[in-house]
A and B are shown apart, each in its own frame.
Chain A
Amino acid sequence: MEIFQIVILGIVVLIILTVLRETNPEMAIILSLVAGVIIFMMILPKLSAIVEVLNTLARKSGLDNIYFMTTLKIIGIAYITEFGVQLCLDANEKNLASKIEIAGKIIIIFLSIPIIVALMETILSIMP
């Protein structure tokens, strides 16, 4: 099972980090970054399969492709933003973390504008 590998990797990294954090905080930040990247790379094949299935389902249901693409993009942006924010919080940089968070939120709203406009137009066309 892959989950055991990931949890054990997490525990090993945790032990190394507690040793390293007191003496060499810069290295500890980089190590936690690397651990995050490796864990993501481990779940990457499964994630890709899930996205593939969702893509097929969306195509079968005859949904407009742009809505599904936008949703996928929003999930990706949210993940990357969260990655950066947690890294900044680990290094006690709350200010930078909140800036990255605001940037992510604004980009997500920007991407979802077409959906909001389409919804509004549908509502307006229903209203007498």
Chain B
Amino acid sequence: MNIDIIFKIAAIGILVTVLNQVLIRSGREEQAMMVTLAGIVVVLMMVIYMINNLFNAVKTIFQLY
């Protein structure tokens, strides 16, 4: 299992936070909110695949069909 995804998510989180702060300081609250939302959606798309893998693994091991 690759742990790179953890650092990817951390980097996206920090980047989104910085962008958010910059946009709020320059008085663009709406765009700041959009950036936060976009970051969450991007990360969620990465995570959904992994959650699917986890649930399938648990299903096959414990024979939960």
Contact = CB atoms under 8 A, between A and B. Distances in A.
Contacts of A44: 57, 61
Given A19-B14, A23-B17, A30-B43, A77 B50 contact: no
Q: Is the interface of B mostly helix, strand, loop or mixed?
A: helix
Which of under 10, 10 to 19, 20 to 34, or 35 or more describes the interface residues of B?
20 to 34
A101 B28 CA distance: 42
A12 interface: yes
B37 to A, nearest CB: 10
Interface of B: 1, 3, 5-6, 9-10, 12-14, 16-17, 36, 39-40, 43-44, 47, 50-51, 53-55, 57-59, 61-64
Interface of A: 9, 12-13, 16, 19-20, 23-24, 26-28, 30-31, 33-35, 37-38, 40-42, 44, 47-48, 51, 69, 72-73, 75-77, 79-80
12 contacts: A20-B14, A27-B12, A27-B13, A30-B40, A34-B9, A34-B47, A34-B50, A41-B57, A42-B1, A73-B62, A79-B58, A80-B58
